[in-house]
Structure 1
Amino acid sequence: MKNFLLAIVCILCFAFSVSDSSGLKILIFNRLHEYTSEKYPEKIYIKTDKPYYTAGEDIWFNAFLVNGVTHKKSEKSKIIYVELINENGEVISERKLFVESFSADGDFKLPLTLKDGTYLLRAYTNYMRNQPRDYFFKKEIPVFALNSEIPDSDSIENSEIETNSELPDIGFYPEGGYLIDGMTNKVAVKIKDAEISSKPIVGIIEDFEGNKVTDFKTLEFGLGLFYLKPEPGKEYRAVITNGEENILYPLPIPLSEGYVLNTSTTDKEVIINLRTNKKEGLKNMLIVGQQRGLAAFDYIQDQQTNTMLVKVPTSDLIEGVLDIVVFNESEKPVAERMVYIKKKEKIAVKVKKTNGFNTSIRDRVNMIIDIRDDSGKLVSGTFSLSITDAELIKPNNNAENIKTYLLMNSDLRGKIKSPNYFFTAGDTIKKNQQLDLIMMTHGWRRFKWQEFIQNSARQDYKPEKGIYISGNTINAKSPFQNKFSETKLTFRKKGFYQETDNTNDIGHFSYGPFVFHDTINVFLQAGSSLKSEKPNFADTNIKLATVPQRPGIIPDEINNTFNQKLSIADEEKYRKKSRNNVFRDFQFDGEREVLDEVLVETKVITKEEVEEIRRNKRARIFAPSYRVVVSDMEQTGSSTFMDLIINVPGIRTGRYTKDPKDADAIFSIENVEVNLRGMKPTIYLDDIEVDLKTARSIHSGDIDFIDIRNTGHSAAAYGLKAQGIIAIYTKQGANRRSNVTDKKPGSINYKLEGFYTAREFYAPDYSLVDRNRSREDKRTTLFWKPNLITQGFQNPTISFYTSDDKGRFQIEIEGVSNSGIPVYATAFLEVE
């Protein structure tokens, strides 16, 4: 009987242990399914016509928006925000683009006054704001100033010497996550921000007593590798000499117990070797593999063992980063490893010139772009094509492109420099080894596994399908609470458009989504009986939804110095030609010259001073007689505009009179007035003239500041308003200051800006003009086609004219097939 009961207990224990691991697996897979099917992320990639520019030139770009899991067309967002940011973290230009299918094209005209530096091109959707800003697309854009001098080779050499004399920032990354006592650990070495051609560093590994254990050497990208078997109770460090002294770097402290995860990859399989020195061994351990959120494989160890080997066929995997995670029986991740899965190219691109073999200057070029899959079928997709002067725009075969970004960079922590190096031909074994070290030194950042398993991802920011007109209706009298109301929207959009709707119970209304590319006049009304002949607007105000603040800019997103990639001769050649093109566009003649750069010194200003400058920009040109800043005052929740100005010198509120119904009353609130030095001032609300009734309806919480302008010099900016001015500036008006044209109880009229329409890339057509005209044609971008659509049944064609330059021109094609395969290809055109 005892043996029978013992057997039952053992069976139940085994069942519960298996159930625990199986339950965790089911939970993880359910979370992954929810992530990939409902809450999948979005990715953006931007192709520009060139990698660098001169002030005064145009940046032509195309923004691709895809499902972050499948890389197919995203079914969520339709709006992309693209920003050009300077080295101070200031947005100097921005575009709001509407995406019809895969992409939307745009452009930036670089101001003539831009200084030398590395600018940042940033792009995101509103939906992408649910995740950290690391997920936004970012591309560094070097810009040369018009008047800057080209640094000489000596200054660059001295700068490199000074940089190399600094202590290198080195990280040490045990495979799987931790060093474990008594077990052989594979450790990757990485120098932070190292380039592909970084000088090697040689070092040794020793214990804290100075006993040498092994040595290491970094190669390309500052990557290296060594093996270490820690002894119990000992700690270790790396020792590097700079010629004068030894520099010590402590290694991660080994754990007495834990897990060691080793992986290796062949063309046919991924081999996973998991080991432990724990007494309980690996029983009930769960290994899960996922790619971009797609479950790839799982394995539960049901045997009592300290070593387990798992082989995963690469035929079951897709190209890209494979995340391998080990969970213990307590459902905690204890080891993790990234592996890159390479696949054979599925799409080939060929460029064929169809009108003759030779090409001369100002000659017509006709081309077919042949894009086929590995079975020879034509591919459907969206692509961008640029043709640039290869003598000036030096081709960089190792640079990031749409393939390396979507398949690798966007799924790893940190930025991988020169990522296409790992996908170019030659030295395959060496490049695969270096790529594996990249995977060891860049951790997965999309999932924090404990949070991912326990909580469903929050999505506070919704995908945008178009432009919405929304806000709230508010009671016009104190305490200014939200209220139910009828609303009516009117504007001209392909004719006269009108729509009516009721708010919800708390006064919220929303119209849209709308798609338009110009600026339209919007007229909103709210009140009761709007459909009758006598609508009532008197007791209702409209408060438009505030424009969401732009996402903050992380300081280290932008390099503060431009690391020159060109030789001095190449840089000088590019600057000279691009500068001449800018001057020629503005038709500079011999009597004009560009002034030298002027150095302007300034001082650091306080936050309070910044706020005052902001207010002054909103206000009129002359300083006010008195300014009320609401944030500086302690106001109750029911305070009004009248409460804010009652103590301002020279202002008197209320008409003093006797109340016949109450002998003790000294005035009647039904006859409130505002007098400024004995006269009735004109009242402005966000630069729109309003009556006192409208001003009194504004809640203090909606007001930013109020300027009081007495008669005379202070009010001169308001023309003939001789009795003084009270100018109210709302927080809402700070976002829509230039758009609001009229506001009164029950209605608001404002201008609403639509989506940006990209300018057309200019290229001369020499079939229509004299080929021998005197004006030079020195285009650095010969041709730009942002949206090259292929339908799968016919090759697309392009046609353009060459310039006055002979030599080699690079054709660069980037895009995505409708099936979600990123494509990158280059070709060359010779002009004789």
Structure 2
Amino acid sequence: MKNKLVLIILTLSCLAFTFVDTSGLKILILNRLNEYTAEKYPEKIYIQTDKPYYTAGENIWFNAYLVNGVTHTKTNKSKVVYVELINEQDSIISDRRLYTDSINAPGDFKLPIDLKGGSYLLRAYTNYMRNQSNDFFFKKQIQIFAFNSGVNTDDFSDSSKIKESSASPDLGFYPEGGYLVSGINNKVAVKIKDADLNASPVIGYIEDSQGNKITDFKTMEFGLAYFNLNPEKGKEYRAIVNSGNEDIVFPLPDPLKDGYVMNTSSTEKDVVIKVTTNKPQGLKNTLLIGHQRGLAAFDYTQEKDLSSMLLKIPKENLIEGVLDIVFFNQSEQPVAERLLYIKKEEKELSVSVKKKTNAPISVRERVNLEIEVKDKFGKLIPSNLSLSVIDTELIKPNENAENIKTWLLLNSDLRGKIKSPNYFFQNGDNIKKKELLDLIMMTHGWRRFTWQEFSKNSMFQEFQPEDGIYINGITISANTPFKSKFSETKLTFRKDGFIQETQNTDENGSFSYGPYIFKDEIGVLLQAGEGLSSNNANYSDTNIKLAPPLEKPEISPQSKNVAFIQKNPSVEAYKQKAKKIVVTNFKFDKDREILDEVNIKTTRISKEELNEIERNKRTKHFTPSYRIIVDDMGMHGGADFMELIANVPGIRIGKTYKAETSQDVVVNLRGMEPRYFVDGIQVTLNDARSIPQANIDFIDIRNVGHASANYAFAAQGVIAIYTKQGRRGGGASKIINRKAGSISFQLDGFYNSREFYAPDYSFEDRNSAREDRRTTLYWNPKIRIEENANATISFYSSDDKGNFQIDIEGITDTGIPIHATAMLTVE
């Protein structure tokens, strides 16, 4: 795309455009853009769900699309996707770790029947995406209704009505390019903060500091408007808006005495850019750069001493999406920036869904569909798709809601979230939509990087892409001061036979096994020591410390906006039907049982309280006589297990009879020798002493008597050690057994996605008395269009008649996002 300009006209000087030898800044920026797109490109995730809202007890079926954030094709970095379901208290209630070697990964969440109703957040990311702010993670709000509560339809917006609010509007003013400049005509966008598609209009006017009215404005959809202003030197300006019985004053940004103004517009064929300045040196030695998602689109260096220039950029050299235009002054500083949305008027793709026969479809009848994705020449385009079929009598899809096209091309590249983004991608009133979308571009900024940081520093990547599951750690001397050491290691998988690998650590004792790709859970034995391949292996002087799992990314408090807009919502009918389906499924599945109604009260808790809850889960909620939380003691490095328990009331440490070394000690708890456990497994005192302090999360001391309630035959008391590696969560390993030179544990694999169930009436009794009332009639996350073959799918209708919406989302192999809908009628 770079340097493919066909026509650029300098109107004021009437000079033909020519490329010139550019400055060091231009070379630097183009090199950085090349580095960004070729090596350090971001990743994007989009998730399609089978429907927009759910009832407790149902399933959330989803498909995660993972792409290169620049080309929107398959990423060559990550193969591991994390998906989390987060409640209104910003706590993760369920998560999935998915593996994909293609472009998408299906998954699901089974919602507990006692789940509290509310607005939940679906969050998805890769480890590599953590190099940028969490704002770049994919996030989708989903409404979930409690199983045993009514539905308040006031929670749903009615898009046929304009919301009324007594609150004063919060207006922002955005001069085109960034600044008001005295003596130069400026276009200024107006935006009501957090306004949606149907925001109430606001009427106002602009006046100067002497009270002279200059112009007026009126906001449209999305709370957007604009006006033109040519500021005079030394004057200040303000906007006046009447709210109720009072006028609200909004100061406008102070005009600069001298500076640069960048005005842009878009014709059918060209992007037109006008740059004007009132600086004495004019535009000499300035630079204009344009890019789309980091791909260099054009660059131009002005060598003439002009006060204004006009450039035309042919659209045929641009791709659909956000164009970021940045102007650098003579000091190589970015002083003006403007976003434009490049919309290709010519329809590049068409998606069709056809029934194989024209015969009407009745209840419990087979439905055969053909799906095609074709270009403008009628050629099939290889694509990956996911499809859902939902009952539109109960679930009213919001035609303006987010989809894969609006996310990849629009929202994922902008600061702030555009509500109802698909409004701009539907036919009808195109002139107005073009104007509104341009105002959206003026009031949002490019968010992937800031030019000041981008042009100065190479982007550091702290978090690396994941291509599988790794087992990492270090080997440590079993004796004080427990320093890391070189060792031989052997890894054994214990599932469906034995698989072994060997590896020597580096000089720092570090080892890393992987990547491994497996589902569910697998048993692992890891050994370390000397001469492991011989008959006289020595494990006694070596301990193993597994690397702790990465902490979950921080969860930012979410705005609790309802995730969809409804016209005449029949939510109560949907909820009653969903409840009936859940009850029916339990009734016909002997492996399930209906849970009693549970009332749950949740409050925000501190990190310390959360950690204590996690500890109690590991100890099965039995209250210890005394608990040692190692990190709270401020001990580091060489602290010994014996030092940790030495000051516990009731514990006495002394020499054994005929002790020969400092290791020959005995521990008494209330006069008796206690039993020792590590992560629930009984060990010897020497085994317990071999665990480094840095490996221990906490220690529970259970006195004589009540200890036996939790540990069989331990009535003389218990000292229970809980290691950091033994903590569950986030795919962490579960320690089963530990002794000198070896450790065995269960390692969580990737989530094994369930298959969507729908009756197959070619095998099942079509006259079965069991009702079939699916709200999601069909879900298929793995539909493939080949270059020489379309896709065919088959499923059976349910007992419901009426209209069903077919929702298709996906992406072509060349990175073009796809969203299409069709209707299916059951008579």
User: Shorter-chain TM-score category?
Assistant: over 0.9
Amino acid paired to 2:613 = I
Q: 1:428 to 1:327 in 2, by over 3 A?
A: same
Distance, in Å, in 2 between the alignment partners of 1:304 and 1:207 is 33
Amino acid paired to 2:814 = S
Partner in structure 2 of residue 336 of structure 1 = 337
Shift of 1:610: 4.2
Distance, in Å, in 2 between the alignment partners of 1:634 and 1:391 is 62
Distance, in Å, in 2 between the alignment partners of 1:599 and 1:533 is 58
Choose 356-365 or 131-140, whichever is displaced more.
Answer: 356-365
Shift of 1:233: 2.3
Partner in structure 2 of residue 233 of structure 1 = 234
Shift of 1:609: 4.2
Q: Tell me whether 1:722 sits opposite 2:722 in the alignment.
A: no
Partner in structure 2 of residue 66 of structure 1 = 67
Distance, in Å, in 1 between the alignment partners of 2:185 and 2:449 is 28
Partner in structure 1 of residue 244 of structure 2 = 243
Partner in structure 1 of residue 10 of structure 2 = none
Shift of 1:629: 2.4
Distance, in Å, in 1 between the alignment partners of 2:43 and 2:219 is 36
Measured against aligned partners, the alpha-carbon deviations of 1:502-551 in whole angstroms (never above 9, x if no partner) come to 01111110111111113111000001111111001111110011100110
Partner in structure 1 of residue 448 of structure 2 = 446
Amino acid paired to 2:450 = K
1:497-576 → structure 2 map (5 Å cutoff): 497-556=499-558, 559-560=559-560, 562=562, 565-567=565-567, 570-576=570-576
Partner in structure 2 of residue 402 of structure 1 = 404
Q: Tell me whether 1:812 sits opposite 2:799 in the alignment.
A: no
Q: Is the 8 A contact 2:381 2:812 kept in 1?
A: yes
Distance, in Å, in 1 between the alignment partners of 2:761 and 2:155 is 45
Q: Tell me whether 1:640 sits opposite 2:633 in the alignment.
A: no
Amino acid paired to 2:725 = Q
Aligned counterpart in structure 2 of residue 390 of structure 1, from 376, 389, 392: 392
Q: Is the 8 A contact 2:116 2:145 kept in 1?
A: yes
Distance, in Å, in 2 between the alignment partners of 1:514 and 1:744 is 25
1:645-660 → structure 2 map (5 Å cutoff): 645-655=645-655
1:400-479 → structure 2 map (5 Å cutoff): 400-479=402-481
Q: Is the 8 A contact 2:471 2:514 kept in 1?
A: yes
Q: Tell me whether 1:708 sits opposite 2:701 in the alignment.
A: yes
Distance, in Å, in 2 between the alignment partners of 1:677 and 1:76 is 57
Distance, in Å, in 2 between the alignment partners of 1:596 and 1:720 is 38
Q: Tell me whether 1:617 sits opposite 2:610 in the alignment.
A: no
1:77-156 → structure 2 map (5 Å cutoff): 77-151=78-152
Distance, in Å, in 2 between the alignment partners of 1:517 and 1:599 is 33
Secondary structure at the counterpart of residue 673 of structure 1? strand
Q: Is the 8 A contact 1:625 1:714 kept in 2?
A: no
Q: Is the 8 A contact 2:676 2:718 kept in 1?
A: yes
Q: 1:391 to 1:700 in 2, by over 3 A?
A: same
Q: 1:522 to 1:608 in 2, by over 3 A?
A: closer
Distance, in Å, in 2 between the alignment partners of 1:620 and 1:87 is 27
Shift of 1:26: 0.8
Measured against aligned partners, the alpha-carbon deviations of 1:274-293 in whole angstroms (never above 9, x if no partner) come to 01111111101100000011
Distance, in Å, in 2 between the alignment partners of 1:804 and 1:340 is 45
Distance, in Å, in 2 between the alignment partners of 1:290 and 1:564 is 33
Shift of 1:209: 4.1
Distance, in Å, in 2 between the alignment partners of 1:216 and 1:657 is 94
Q: Is the 8 A contact 2:541 2:740 kept in 1?
A: yes
Q: Tell me whether 1:584 sits opposite 2:574 in the alignment.
A: no
Q: Is the 8 A contact 1:152 1:568 kept in 2?
A: no
Secondary structure at the counterpart of residue 762 of structure 2? coil
Q: 1:69 to 1:561 in 2, by over 3 A?
A: closer
Measured against aligned partners, the alpha-carbon deviations of 1:413-463 in whole angstroms (never above 9, x if no partner) come to 111111111111111111111110111111001121121111111111111
1:261-300 → structure 2 map (5 Å cutoff): 261-300=262-301
Q: Is the 8 A contact 1:117 1:562 kept in 2?
A: no
Q: Is the 8 A contact 1:54 1:575 kept in 2?
A: yes
Amino acid paired to 2:662 = I
Measured against aligned partners, the alpha-carbon deviations of 1:634-681 in whole angstroms (never above 9, x if no partner) come to 43532211111111122122317799xxxxxxx951422222222221
Q: Is the 8 A contact 1:520 1:753 kept in 2?
A: yes
Q: Tell me whether 1:733 sits opposite 2:714 in the alignment.
A: no
Shift of 1:239: 1.7
Aligned counterpart in structure 2 of residue 669 of structure 1, from 662, 668, 681: 662
Secondary structure at the counterpart of residue 75 of structure 1? coil
Shift of 1:796: 1.1
Distance, in Å, in 2 between the alignment partners of 1:135 and 1:607 is 24
Partner in structure 2 of residue 370 of structure 1 = 372
Amino acid paired to 1:531 = S
Distance, in Å, in 2 between the alignment partners of 1:517 and 1:155 is 39
Distance, in Å, in 2 between the alignment partners of 1:346 and 1:19 is 35
Distance, in Å, in 1 between the alignment partners of 2:752 and 2:155 is 46
Secondary structure at the counterpart of residue 34 of structure 1? helix
Q: Is the 8 A contact 1:21 1:285 kept in 2?
A: no
Aligned counterpart in structure 2 of residue 692 of structure 1, from 660, 673, 685: 685
Distance, in Å, in 2 between the alignment partners of 1:494 and 1:733 is 24
Q: Tell me whether 1:798 sits opposite 2:793 in the alignment.
A: yes
Q: Is the 8 A contact 1:657 1:668 kept in 2?
A: no
Distance, in Å, in 2 between the alignment partners of 1:634 and 1:610 is 20
Distance, in Å, in 2 between the alignment partners of 1:588 and 1:646 is 58
Secondary structure at the counterpart of residue 587 of structure 2? coil
Partner in structure 2 of residue 760 of structure 1 = 755
Partner in structure 2 of residue 11 of structure 1 = none
Q: Is the 8 A contact 1:147 1:594 kept in 2?
A: no
Q: 1:43 to 1:182 in 2, by over 3 A?
A: same
Shift of 1:269: 0.6
Shift of 1:323: 0.3
Amino acid paired to 2:615 = R
Amino acid paired to 2:813 = N
Distance, in Å, in 2 between the alignment partners of 1:588 and 1:353 is 32
Q: 1:688 to 1:764 in 2, by over 3 A?
A: same
Shift of 1:604: 6.7
Q: Is the 8 A contact 2:142 2:563 kept in 1?
A: no
Shift of 1:234: 2.4
Partner in structure 2 of residue 259 of structure 1 = 260
Secondary structure at the counterpart of residue 206 of structure 1? strand
Structure with bigger helix share is: 1
Partner in structure 2 of residue 778 of structure 1 = 773
Q: Is the 8 A contact 1:319 1:407 kept in 2?
A: yes
Distance, in Å, in 1 between the alignment partners of 2:407 and 2:561 is 23
Q: Is the 8 A contact 1:411 1:446 kept in 2?
A: yes
- State TM-score, norm by structure 2: 0.93
Q: 1:334 to 1:466 in 2, by over 3 A?
A: same
Distance, in Å, in 2 between the alignment partners of 1:153 and 1:512 is 52
Secondary structure at the counterpart of residue 30 of structure 1? helix
Aligned counterpart in structure 2 of residue 746 of structure 1, from 741, 746, 749: 741
Shift of 1:628: 2.0
Secondary structure at the counterpart of residue 221 of structure 1? helix
Superposition RMSD in Å: 2.4
Partner in structure 1 of residue 76 of structure 2 = 75
Distance, in Å, in 1 between the alignment partners of 2:370 and 2:111 is 32
Secondary structure at the counterpart of residue 23 of structure 2? helix
- State TM-score, norm by structure 1: 0.92
Shift of 1:697: 2.0
Partner in structure 2 of residue 15 of structure 1 = none
Q: 1:315 to 1:83 in 2, by over 3 A?
A: same
Provide the aligned length of Structure 1 versus Structure 2. Answer: 801
Shift of 1:163: 6.9
Secondary structure at the counterpart of residue 164 of structure 1? coil
